[in-house]
């Protein structure tokens, strides 16, 4: 009963809500209602998880069909600057169906290979939908069409911020975590400092980086030449790096601290040196816990990188804050939706990696 779509005279003015039954021709509305009802009904069959998963796909297909057909129909009688966007009814239906999909997949408990295949299949279907041009009548896709080059530049910058800061934190955090595991004094000095950094709000952290790196860029010869300045990529990268350290260091300490003493004694009894025991026994056994930290950091950094747009760091946050300044909702979505998708995909891929490291070798005792 909630509005399914919104039609506006241009990209920034308030629009007129459109109900589902007025969104598209009757046959398309009928297909959508049938698909949603069928999908939710299939979702009630608790004993057949694959049927619940299929139901979520049927429902999503139905609401997307009406949205695409309805957008074309609404724009046919509107002006050249008119825009059509999904409304609250569409988003709530989509959320309910995606929650059904996630619940079904969680109950199915597919293995790493099956999860990867499902992820590839869903991304492939989404890519085919985008490539078909069926969504191009929607306002968010028109925002993309006018900013295609800058969108992919922002995507590259977002990935560089999120993954680059994680890689730097791993290079520093893993050795630091090993040191903290072996030296109680180091652990007592390092972890409280990293915990304090983690409590600083993200906006405050980005703000603190501005005067620090402004001074470095002005005082250190060659610093400005390599991009170190008060605004831009450098302060955003440094802030994300500092936020990443605590999960990496603490999970490295936790992973190494939970290893069975008998296993370590056996490795020592076999004549392994300290370095050999670390590389061949301790780190492989602690790898699931360490990868869990990397998953946390990666998803966290993908989200926090949006705030980098405030200080000229680039990324999808550029569109989010431009949209806020222009009161252009669909420009905000152009930055927010890819960020959400990127975080979900990264989380699933890292979960697969964690699961692979936890699987017992073939022939091993359970």
Sequence ranges of the domains in the chain = 5-139, 148-361
Instruction: Evaluate whether the domain defined by 148-361 bears CATH number 1.10.3720.10.
Output: yes
The arithmetic mean of pLDDT across residues 311-321, rounded, is 89
Q: 177 near 256, Cβ under 8 Å?
A: yes
Q: 214 near 230, Cβ under 8 Å?
A: yes
363 pLDDT band (50/70/90 cuts)?
very low
Least confident piece of the model among 82-96, 163-177, 193-207, 223-237: 223-237
pLDDT at residue 349 is higher than 90: yes
pLDDT at residue 364 is higher than 60: no
Query: In this predicted structure, what is the pLDDT of residue 58?
Result: 93
Q: Pick from 64, 87, 35: which is nearest to 43 by CA?
A: 35
pLDDT at residue 137 is higher than 80: yes
86 pLDDT band (50/70/90 cuts)?
very high
Distance in angstroms (rounded) separating the CA atoms of residues 360 and 366: 8
Distance in angstroms (rounded) separating the CA atoms of residues 93 and 32: 11
| Mean pLDDT, the chain, integer | 88
Interior/surface letters 118-134, b for 16+ CB within 10 angstroms, e for the rest: beeeeeeeeeeeeeeeb
Q: 99 near 51, Cβ under 8 Å?
A: no
């Amino acid at each position: 009963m909630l509005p399914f779509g919104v039609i506006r005279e241009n990209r920034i003015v308030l629009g007129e809500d459109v109900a589902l039954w007025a969104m598209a021709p009757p046959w398309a509305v009928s297909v959508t209602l049938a698909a949603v009802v069928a999908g939710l009904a299939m979702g009630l069959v608790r004993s057949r998880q694959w049927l619940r998963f299929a139901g979520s796909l049927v429902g999503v297909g139905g609401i997307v069909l009406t949205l695409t057909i309805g957008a074309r129909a609404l724009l046919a009688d509107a002006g050249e600057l008119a825009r059509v966007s999904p409304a609250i009814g569409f988003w709530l239906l989509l959320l309910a169906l995606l929650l059904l999909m996630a619940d079904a997949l969680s109950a199915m408990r597919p293995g790493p290979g099956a999860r990867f295949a499902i992820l590839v299949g869903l991304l492939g279907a989404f890519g085919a939908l985008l490539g078909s041009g069926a969504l191009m009548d929607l306002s968010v896709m028109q925002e993309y069409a006018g900013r295609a080059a800058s969108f992919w530049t922002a995507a590259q910058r977002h990935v560089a911020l999120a993954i680059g800061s994680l890689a730097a934190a791993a290079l520093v955090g893993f050795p630091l975590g090993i040191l903290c595991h072996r030296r109680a004094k180091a652990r007592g000095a390092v972890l409280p400092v990293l915990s304090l950094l983690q409590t600083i709000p993200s906006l405050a952290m980005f703000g603190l980086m501005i005067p620090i790196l402004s001074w470095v860029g002005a005082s250190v010869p060659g610093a400005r030449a390599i991009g170190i300045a008060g605004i831009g990529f450098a302060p955003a990268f440094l802030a994300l790096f500092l936020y990443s350290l605590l999960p990496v260091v603490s999970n490295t300490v936790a992973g190494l601290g939970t290893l069975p003493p008998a296993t370590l004694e056996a490795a020592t009894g076999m004549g392994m040196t300290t370095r050999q025991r670390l590389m061949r026994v301790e780190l492989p056994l602690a790898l699931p816990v360490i990868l869990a930290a990397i998953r946390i950091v990666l998803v966290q950094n993908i989200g926090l990188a949006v705030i980098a747009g405030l200080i000229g760091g680039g990324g999808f946050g550029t569109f989010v804050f431009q949209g806020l300044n222009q009161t252009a909702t669909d420009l905000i979505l152009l930055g927010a939706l890819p960020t959400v998708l990127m975080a979900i995909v990264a989380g699933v891929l890292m979960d697969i990696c964690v699961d692979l490291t936890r699987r017992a070798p073939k022939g091993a005792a359970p």
